[in-house]
Amino acid sequence: MNDIVKTDETLLNSLKEREKELNCLYKVDEILSNHQLSLPELFEAIVAIIPSGWRFPDLCRAKITFKNSSYQPPDFIASPISEKCSIKSDGKIAGSIEVIYIKKVPEAAEGFILEKERQLIQTIADRIGQIVFYRDMKLVLNEWETSRKQGEPSSNQEWKVILDFLRDTDQDMLLNICRKMINHLLINGVNEASGIMNSTERENDNFPSSVKPFGSVDDIREKTFAIAGKHLGGNEITTHVKRWIQEEQVYSLAKAVGSISPSIPNIVEELTSYHNSAKNDEALYSPRARWLSVALISRFLSDRPEFVNTAKQYINFRDFVDIANRIIFPTGSRGNLGGKSSGLFLATKILRKEGENNPLLNVVDTPKTWYITADAFTAFLQYNNLEELNEQKYRELSEIRIDYPNIIQLLKNSRIPPEIVKSFSVALDDLWDGPLIVRSSSLLEDQVGAVFSGKYKSLFLANQGTKQERLEALLDAIIEVYSSMFSPDSIQYRAERGLLDFNEEMGIMIQEVVGRKVGPYFFPLLSGVAFSNNEYCWSPRIKREDGLVRLVPGLGTRAVDRLSDDFPVLLSPQHPEIPVNSVPDEIKRYSPKRIDVINLEQRTFQTVDLAALYRDYGDEIDELHKIVSIIEFDHLIKPNKFEIDFEKSDLVVTFDGIIAKTKYIKQINAILQVLRDKMGHPVDIEFSCDGQHLYLLQCRPQSFMAASSPAPIPKDLPEKDILFSANRHISNGLIQNIAYVVYVDAEEYHRLADIDDLYNIGKVVGLLNTVLPKRQFILAGPGRWGSRGDIKLGVRVGYADICNTAALIEIARGKKGYMSDLSFGTHFFQDLVEANIRYLPLYPDEPGLIFNSRFLLGSPNILREIFPDYARYEDVIRVINVRDVADGRTLTISMNAELGEAIGYLSRHKADLSSADRPNEYNEHQTDSKAWRWRHYMAERVAASLDARRFGVNSVYLFGSTNDGTAGFGSDIDLIVHFEGSAQQKLELVRWLEGWSLCLDEMNFLKTGYRMNGLLDVHIITNDDINRKTCFAIKISLATDPAYRLKLKDEN
Amino acid sequence: MSKTYNALEQAQAQFDQAAEKIELDEATRQLLRQPMREYHFSIPVHMDDGSVKIFRGYRVQHNDARGPAKGGIRFHPLETVDTIRALAMWMTWKCAVVDIPLGGGKGGIICDPHDMSDREQEQLCRGWVRQIARNVGPCIDVPAPDVMTNAKHMLWMLDEYETIHGGRYPGFITGKPVGMGGSLGRTEATGFGVIYVLREALKELNMRIENTTASIQGFGNVAQHAAKLYQSLGGKVTAISCWDNTEKTAYTFRKKDGLDYNALVSITDSFGRIDKEKAIGLGYEVLPGDAWIEQDVDVLIPAALENQISGDNVHKISKQVKIVAEGANGPTSTDADKVLAQRGIFVIPDFLANAGGVTCSYFEQVQSNTNHYWEKDEVIQKLDARMTAAFKAVVDLAKDKKLHMREAAYIIAINRVVRAVKSRGWV
Cβ contacts of B82 on chain A, cutoff 8 Å: 790
Helix and strand numbers (H, E) in chain A are 34, 35
Mean pLDDT for the stretch of residues A1024-1031: 75
Nearest to A789 among B79, B116, B121 (CB): B79
Q: Do B80 and A565 touch (CB under 8 A)?
A: no
Is A573 within a domain? Answer: yes
Regarding whether A635 and A591 lie in a shared domain, the answer is yes
Regarding whether A641 and A614 lie in a shared domain, the answer is yes
Least trusted range by pLDDT, from A392-406, A863-877, B89-103, B189-203: A392-406
Let me know: does B201 contact B208? Beta carbons within 8 Å.
no
Q: Do B177 and A540 touch (CB under 8 A)?
A: no
For residue A1012, the enclosing domain spans 929-1046
Helix (H), strand (E), coil (C) string for A955-1004: EEEEECCCCCCCCCCCCCEEEEEEECCCHHHHHHHHHHHHHHHHHHHHHH
- Gap between the Cα atoms of A595 and A525, Å rounded: 10
Question: Virtual CA dihedral for B317, B323, B324, B327, nearest 10 degrees?
Answer: -140
State the pLDDT confidence band at A819, using cuts at 50, 70 and 90. very low
Task: Kindly state whether A635 is in contact with chain B, defined as any CB-CB distance less than 8 angstroms.
Answer: yes
Q: CA of A532, closest CA in chain B: separation in Å?
A: 21
Q: How many CB atoms lie within 10 A of CB A387?
A: 10
Regarding whether A652 and A539 lie in a shared domain, the answer is yes
pTM over 0.95: no
Mean pLDDT for the stretch of residues B150-165: 96
Q: Do B4 and A755 touch (CB under 8 A)?
A: no
Domains, in order of start, for chain B: 35-169 (3.40.50.10860), 187-353 (3.40.50.720)
* Per-residue pLDDT, A590: 84
Cβ contacts of B245 on chain A, cutoff 8 Å: 589
- Gap between the Cα atoms of A950 and A984, Å rounded: 11
DSSP E strands in B289-345: the ranges are 299-302, 323-325
Cβ contacts of B113 on chain A, cutoff 8 Å: 582-583
State the pLDDT confidence band at A921, using cuts at 50, 70 and 90. very low
- Residue A442 pairs in a beta bridge with A506
Residue type, A702: Q
pLDDT digits (tens, 9 = 90+) for A237-246: 888 887 777 7
Regarding whether A133 and A67 lie in a shared domain, the answer is yes
Task: Kindly state whether B265 is in contact with chain A, defined as any CB-CB distance less than 8 angstroms.
Answer: no
Mean pLDDT for the stretch of residues A207-223: 69
Selected residue with higher pLDDT from A928 and B119 = B119
* Per-residue pLDDT, A820: 44
Pairing between β-strand B285-288 and β-strand B249-254 as defined by DSSP bridges: antiparallel
Selected residue with higher pLDDT from A266 and A546 = A546
Is A650 within a domain? Answer: yes
DSSP E strands in A805-924: the ranges are 807-811, 838-842, 877-881, 890-896, 901-907
Q: CA of A1004, closest CA in chain B: separation in Å?
A: 24
* Per-residue pLDDT, B349: 95
Q: State the Cα angle at B377 between B372 and B381, rounded to 5°.
A: 100
State the pLDDT confidence band at A423, using cuts at 50, 70 and 90. confident
Q: Do A751 and B1 touch (CB under 8 A)?
A: yes
Q: State the Cα angle at A993 between A988 and A999, rounded to 5°.
A: 130
Please determine, for residue A151, whether its predicted confidence score (pLDDT) is greater than 70: no
* Per-residue pLDDT, A680: 86
Q: pLDDT > 90: what percent of chain A?
A: 17
Q: Do B245 and A589 touch (CB under 8 A)?
A: yes
Regarding whether A883 and A741 lie in a shared domain, the answer is yes
- Gap between the Cα atoms of B15 and A731, Å rounded: 48
Q: Do B249 and A800 touch (CB under 8 A)?
A: yes
Q: CA of B27, closest CA in chain A: separation in Å?
A: 27
Is A57 within a domain? Answer: yes
Domain boundary among the residues A268, A298, A325 is at A325
* Per-residue pLDDT, A914: 36
Regarding whether A640 and A529 lie in a shared domain, the answer is yes
Regarding whether A985 and A841 lie in a shared domain, the answer is no
Residue B119's closest chain A neighbor by CA?
A: A577
Domain boundary among the residues A917, A946, A964 is at A917
Q: Do A753 and B1 touch (CB under 8 A)?
A: yes
Residue B13's closest chain A neighbor by CA?
A: A754
Is A91 within a domain? Answer: yes
Task: Kindly state whether A581 is in contact with chain B, defined as any CB-CB distance less than 8 angstroms.
Answer: yes
Most confident of A632-646, A666-680, B249-263, B368-382: B368-382
Cβ contacts of B187 on chain A, cutoff 8 Å: 633
Q: CA of B168, closest CA in chain A: separation in Å?
A: 21
Residue B108's closest chain A neighbor by CA?
A: A789
Cβ contacts of A588 on chain B, cutoff 8 Å: 270-271
Q: Do B115 and A541 touch (CB under 8 A)?
A: yes
Give the number of domains in chain A: 6
Q: Do A754 and B187 touch (CB under 8 A)?
A: no
Is A417 within a domain? Answer: yes
Please determine, for residue A147, whether its predicted confidence score (pLDDT) is greater than 70: no
Mean pLDDT for the stretch of residues B179-193: 95
pLDDT digits (tens, 9 = 90+) for A950-963: 899 988 988 877 77
Regarding whether A808 and A717 lie in a shared domain, the answer is yes
* Chain A contacts in chain B segment 322-351 (CB below 8 A): 330, 333-335
Q: Do A538 and B114 touch (CB under 8 A)?
A: yes
End-to-end CA distance of chain B: 37
Q: How many CB atoms lie within 10 A of CB A1050?
A: 10
* Per-residue pLDDT, A164: 80
Nearest to A758 among B5, B116, B150 (CB): B5
Cβ contacts of A646 on chain B, cutoff 8 Å: none
Let me know: does A145 contact A152? Beta carbons within 8 Å.
no
Angle between helices A467-483 and A418-430 (to 10 degrees): 120
- Gap between the Cα atoms of A160 and A227, Å rounded: 14
Residue A822's closest chain B neighbor by CA?
A: B77
- Gap between the Cα atoms of A675 and B59, Å rounded: 50
Regarding whether A533 and A507 lie in a shared domain, the answer is no
Residue B83's closest chain A neighbor by CA?
A: A790
Regarding whether A781 and A654 lie in a shared domain, the answer is no
b/e A922-935 (16+ beta carbons within 10 angstroms → b): bbbbbbeeebbebb
Is A111 within a domain? Answer: yes
- Residue A683 pairs in a beta bridge with A701
* Chain A contacts in chain B segment 49-78 (CB below 8 A): 49, 74, 76-78
Q: Do A583 and B112 touch (CB under 8 A)?
A: no
Following DSSP, what letter does each residue of A349-396 receive, concatenated? HHHHHHHTT-TTTTTEE---EEEE-THHHHHHHHHTT-GGGGGGGGS-
pLDDT digits (tens, 9 = 90+) for A340-354: 889 999 999 999 889
Q: CA of A705, closest CA in chain B: separation in Å?
A: 23
Is A162 within a domain? Answer: no
Peptide bond into A153 cis (omega under 30): yes
pLDDT digits (tens, 9 = 90+) for A711-751: 888 888 888 899 999 888 788 888 888 989 999 998 888 88
Cβ contacts of B48 on chain A, cutoff 8 Å: 577
Mean pLDDT for the stretch of residues A347-375: 89
Nearest to B115 among A652, A756, A825 (CB): A825
Q: CA of B1, closest CA in chain A: separation in Å?
A: 7
Question: Virtual CA dihedral for A807, A813, A819, A822, nearest 10 degrees?
Answer: 20
* Per-residue pLDDT, A290: 77
Pairing between β-strand A807-811 and β-strand A838-842 as defined by DSSP bridges: parallel
Q: State the Cα angle at A591 between A590 and A594, rounded to 5°.
A: 120
Q: How many CB atoms lie within 10 A of CB A1028?
A: 11
End-to-end CA distance of chain A: 88
Residue in B70, B94, B106, B236 annotated catalytic: B106
Domain boundary among the residues A462, A483, A513 is at A513
Angle between helices A664-679 and A305-314 (to 10 degrees): 130
Cβ contacts of A794 on chain B, cutoff 8 Å: 78
Let me know: does A182 contact A188? Beta carbons within 8 Å.
no
Which of A291, A233, A285 lies closest to A257 in space, CA to CA?
A291
Residue A754's closest chain B neighbor by CA?
A: B5
Regarding whether A985 and A893 lie in a shared domain, the answer is no
Which of A863, A856, A910, A865 lies closest to A885 in space, CA to CA?
A856
* Interface ipTM: 0.81
Following DSSP, what letter does each residue of B112-140 receive, concatenated? -GGGS-HHHHHHHHHHHHHHHGGG-BTTT
* Chain B contacts in chain A segment 528-547 (CB below 8 A): 538-541
- Mean pLDDT of all residues belonging to chain A: 81
Nearest to A584 among B150, B271, B311 (CB): B150
Cβ contacts of B270 on chain A, cutoff 8 Å: 588, 611, 650, 652
- Gap between the Cα atoms of B273 and B252, Å rounded: 12
Let me know: does A197 contact A179? Beta carbons within 8 Å.
yes
Task: Kindly state whether A753 is in contact with chain B, defined as any CB-CB distance less than 8 angstroms.
Answer: yes
Q: Do B147 and A789 touch (CB under 8 A)?
A: yes
Nearest to A831 among B248, B271, B333 (CB): B248
- Gap between the Cα atoms of B394 and B200, Å rounded: 11
Cβ partners under 8 Å of residue A668, min gap 6 = A528, A530, A549, A573, A685, A687, A694
Q: How many CB atoms lie within 10 A of CB A22?
A: 12
Mean pLDDT for the stretch of residues A487-515: 84
Cβ partners under 8 Å of residue A941, min gap 6 = none
- Residue A461 pairs in a beta bridge with A436
pLDDT digits (tens, 9 = 90+) for A978-987: 998 888 888 8
CATH number for the domain harbouring residue A539: 3.30.470.20
Task: Kindly state whether B262 is in contact with chain A, defined as any CB-CB distance less than 8 angstroms.
Answer: no
Task: Kindly state whether A611 is in contact with chain B, defined as any CB-CB distance less than 8 angstroms.
Answer: yes
Regarding whether A457 and A384 lie in a shared domain, the answer is yes
The answer to whether B255 is a known catalytic residue is no
Let me know: does B38 contact B58? Beta carbons within 8 Å.
yes
Task: Kindly state whether B118 is in contact with chain A, defined as any CB-CB distance less than 8 angstroms.
Answer: yes
CATH number for the domain harbouring residue A112: 3.30.450.40
Q: Do B80 and A792 touch (CB under 8 A)?
A: yes
Is A594 within a domain? Answer: yes
Cβ contacts of A819 on chain B, cutoff 8 Å: 77-78
